[in-house]
Amino acid sequence: MTATLTRIKMLISLKALPAKLNVFTLFLLLTLNSILSTPLHATSEVSVETISKTSNTLAESQSANQKKQQFTIGILSQTPRKSTKGTPWQFSFDRLNSHPKFQFKALFLNSQELTKALINDRLDFVICDAINYLRLEKKYGILRLLTRAEQYSDQFVSSEGLSVHTLSNNSNITRLQDLKDKSIGVIDDRSSISWLFLEKFLFNHGLIADTNITITAISDINQSIPLLQSNTFDAIISKSGLIDKYFPQGKIDNLRLINPRRGWQAPFLHSSVLIPEWPLAKAWYVDNQIASQVVSLLLNQHNSRSNNSNAYFLPQYYWDIALNYNALNELFFFSENYDDEADTEESTLSQKVQYWISFIIICFLVLILILYLRSSRDLNNKLTLSKESLEQEIKERQHAQEQALTHQAELAHVARLSTMGEMASGLAHELNQPLSAIHTYVQGCIRRINMGNTDLDAIVGALKLTAQQADRAGGIIRRLRSFVRKGESHKTYSEINQIVNEVTGFLETQLKNKQVSLKFDLEEDLPPVLADIIQIEQVLINLLKNGIESMSNIEKPVIMVSTRRLDPKLIELCVIDSGHGISEDKLKRIFNPFFTTKTSGMGMGLSISSSIIEAHDGKLYAENNPEQGARFCLTLPITEEPIIEEQAGKDNNE
């Protein structure tokens, strides 16, 4: 009583568990069952070697069809066979081999051989009973395509069941439980019985072969009735429908079906639940297209239904679409006709076994739960630790980034000083121009005054021009000082075109000296970019200087500066020269530090320029123009000017 209650509880708890666990338990049950019931498979043991030999001979005999693509279909069978001829499979294989490109060959294998062959990838398709299929699907990922169907009168039945018959005058056996300690004959005519199904069916009624029930296979259906009548067997078990189909009505009258059930799926009575008929499954590696061709070939078999319907001696299997396997769950969790009479103090062996299995499963689940809890606690600790180390790493990275930024700014400053040094003579000349103009204007004034020429308007005009030139000189000095300003990065919202104008003013002398004509292609109304003006100027000066120097022996050198909006978020500035361009191998290295093609210079210019632009979240790249010369382009992201800052700026001004 207690045991049963526990068992029911267990079943309820199992039901409540998530679907995944359910499947897992199912699998566990299957494995255990197959271990417990190995004696049932005592029929024949063909080694894998024999199979390979068989397949070799088959291959040789079919060498004529070598051009066709070969497929092997493994068929579960307790009795070894060499060909499908004379079996109900024949018609299906004829259909399959009617395909112009495919050649199908059958291998009849018992359950272990089937598994081995699948492991060795020797099978493309498998035909076996639904229970074996479930096992193989779980382990080897085979996939069911079709379900076998048999014809009973005018109906195609794709479910199978088991029928237990006794002689109608045998009053000892009225329920399935009564089969205990009895001798049973199983009709395995043409391997029609699903042994695992039978085993499971018996197990669900507390019957275990060779323990409390004796099972003997009868290979010839004709012998079954006489053996029953001679009391060799107390009952016979057959595939449902087989006896109805084979024996004339009169003989069936002598027989009584135990536990008769009727399902909508089949026109005959049966003792067990109905489970799906044997599926045809494909191995995981078989292409879906091939599988679909096989399906279409076999499904069409219905259409070309042979005219010998209802004839047992020329039987054939048909194929139907793959069925729902819910019926199998019923088989595994509830024994059919489970009644209270089983609920006696003398619990049957099967109940004991089931109890132990349940116990093991629960222990196992508890163990898993404990392990899971422990591992999750460990995992939590690990997570906290790694979070801390990650935070530390982020801090270090931020620090390193700040340092890198400072270094970059310092380096840029050094590079600016170096650039300034290189440009010193040009700058001296630029400063010389307003200075000499000032000097000359003033001397002109002095001379006029000395000579008594007192045209004051003219003299005032000249003095105004003098003052302008002094301003010009001051501007140059101011630019110079800001350019060599200490290396601190200070980003402001700046107009890129204004930077271009400033820089080209700076380089005017240099351009003039080298006879370079400067052109502009500046897009108007560009949005401002958040940039360190000095650093961007530095990059631009560097690019322009490089461009000018690259055209030292070019006739009519031209350099162009263009700005444009590349996309809604990027501004592009290009410096395009008409020089010799850059060779491919140099193009790859020009941004490397200390790489230079010039006789003077450190080779740091482009390297530093590149790092400056990268610090502005932009990119600096070089390419050759299709026609002539090279172009250096830089991109800068457009940052919307925040209104708050503008207001703050206004406030400060106020």
Residue 598 CB, shortest distance to other proteins, in Å, is 21
Residue 628 CB, shortest distance to other proteins, in Å, is 21
451 binds other proteins per the rule CB under 8 A: yes
510 binds other proteins per the rule CB under 8 A: no
Angle at the Cα of 304 from the Cα atoms of 301 and 307, rounded to 5 degrees? 120
- Work out the number of other CB atoms within 10 angstroms of the CB of residue 198: 23
Among the listed residues 437, 484, 522, 560, the single contact to other proteins using CB under 8 A: 437
Q: Of 41, 400, 407, whose CA–CA distance to 191 is shortest? A: 41
Q: Between residue 334 and residue 393, which ones bind other proteins under the rule CB under 8 A?
A: none
Q: Between residue 187 and residue 226, which ones bind other proteins under the rule CB under 8 A?
A: none
The window from 85-93, 108-116, 448-456, 591-599 that contacts other proteins (CB under 8 A) reads 448-456
The window from 75-83, 320-328, 362-370, 508-516 that contacts other proteins (CB under 8 A) reads 508-516
**For residue 67, which amino acid is it?**
K
The window from 59-67, 105-113, 244-252, 446-454 that contacts other proteins (CB under 8 A) reads 446-454
Residue 462 CB, shortest distance to other proteins, in Å, is 5
558 binds other proteins per the rule CB under 8 A: no
- Looking at residue 171, the DSSP 8-state letter turns out to be -
The window from 30-38, 261-269, 459-467, 558-566 that contacts other proteins (CB under 8 A) reads 459-467
Q: How many binding residues for other proteins (CB under 8 A)?
A: 31
Residue 497 CB, shortest distance to other proteins, in Å, is 23
Among the listed residues 155, 171, 300, 440, the single contact to other proteins using CB under 8 A: 440
- Work out the number of other CB atoms within 10 angstroms of the CB of residue 296: 10
Query: Residue 444 or 527: which CB sits closer to other proteins?
Result: 444
What whole-number distance in Å separates Cα of residue 93 and Cα of residue 107?
12
- What is the residue-wise DSSP string for 413-428? HHHHHHHHHHTHHHHH
Instruction: Report the side by side order of strands in the sheet with 517-522.
Output: 517-522, 558-567, 570-577, 630-637, 619-624
CB 647 within 8 A of CB 573: no
Query: Residue 468 or 624: which CB sits closer to other proteins?
Result: 468
User: Binding pattern to other proteins, positions 515-534, x when CB under 8 A?
Assistant: x-x-----------------
What whole-number distance in Å separates Cα of residue 241 and Cα of residue 266?
9
Among the listed residues 369, 428, 456, 477, the single contact to other proteins using CB under 8 A: 428
Query: Residue 28 or 558: which CB sits closer to other proteins?
Result: 558
Among the listed residues 68, 245, 261, 472, the single contact to other proteins using CB under 8 A: 472
Residue 396 CB, shortest distance to other proteins, in Å, is 52
Among the listed residues 74, 185, 434, 605, the single contact to other proteins using CB under 8 A: 434
What whole-number distance in Å separates Cα of residue 349 and Cα of residue 177?
12
Residue 429 CB, shortest distance to other proteins, in Å, is 5
Among the listed residues 238, 316, 419, 469, the single contact to other proteins using CB under 8 A: 469
C-alpha dihedral, 124 to 125 to 130 to 135, nearest 10°: 0
Query: Residue 143 or 560: which CB sits closer to other proteins?
Result: 560
Residue 574 CB, shortest distance to other proteins, in Å, is 23
Residue 514 CB, shortest distance to other proteins, in Å, is 10
Among the listed residues 126, 213, 236, 438, the single contact to other proteins using CB under 8 A: 438
- What is the residue-wise DSSP string for 103-165? EEEEEEE-HHHHHHHHHTT--SEEE--HHHHHHHHHHH--EEEEEEEEEETTEEE-EE-EEEE
What whole-number distance in Å separates Cα of residue 444 and Cα of residue 566?
53
Among the listed residues 31, 229, 453, 552, the single contact to other proteins using CB under 8 A: 453
- Looking at residue 209, the DSSP 8-state letter turns out to be B
What values do phi and psi take at 418, rounded to 5? Answer: -65, -45
Query: Residue 62 or 468: which CB sits closer to other proteins?
Result: 468
Radius of gyration of the chain, Cα coordinates, nearest whole angstrom: 48
- Work out the number of other CB atoms within 10 angstroms of the CB of residue 375: 11
Q: Which residues pair with 633 in a beta bridge?
A: 574, 621
Query: Residue 23 or 467: which CB sits closer to other proteins?
Result: 467
Query: Residue 309 or 432: which CB sits closer to other proteins?
Result: 432
468 binds other proteins per the rule CB under 8 A: yes
Q: Of 610, 578, 605, whose CA–CA distance to 594 is shortest? A: 605
Distances (CA, A) of 359 to 3, 11, 344, 352, 364: 11, 11, 20, 10, 8
251 binds other proteins per the rule CB under 8 A: no
Residue 559 CB, shortest distance to other proteins, in Å, is 13
Q: Between residue 80 and residue 99, which ones bind other proteins under the rule CB under 8 A?
A: none
Among the listed residues 172, 436, 592, 647, the single contact to other proteins using CB under 8 A: 436
Residue 516 CB, shortest distance to other proteins, in Å, is 8
How far is C-alpha 613 from the chain's CA centre? 38
The window from 9-17, 73-81, 309-317, 428-436 that contacts other proteins (CB under 8 A) reads 428-436
Q: Which tokens is 569 given?
A: 């978020």
Which own/partner contact pairs does 301-305 have at CB distance under 8 Å and 24+ positions apart? 301/91, 301/92, 301/95, 302/156, 304/95
The window from 40-48, 295-303, 305-313, 507-515 that contacts other proteins (CB under 8 A) reads 507-515
Query: Residue 112 or 433: which CB sits closer to other proteins?
Result: 433
Angle at the Cα of 261 from the Cα atoms of 206 and 355, rounded to 5 degrees? 20
Q: Which residues pair with 126 in a beta bridge?
A: 74, 281
Residue 463 CB, shortest distance to other proteins, in Å, is 10
512 binds other proteins per the rule CB under 8 A: yes
Bridge-based pairing of strands 162-167 and 235-239 is antiparallel
580 binds other proteins per the rule CB under 8 A: no
425 binds other proteins per the rule CB under 8 A: yes
Q: Which tokens is 340 given?
A: 């209270």
In the complex, which residues of this chain contact other proteins (CB under 8 A)?
425, 428-429, 432-441, 443-445, 447-448, 451, 453, 462, 465-466, 468-469, 472, 511-513, 515, 517
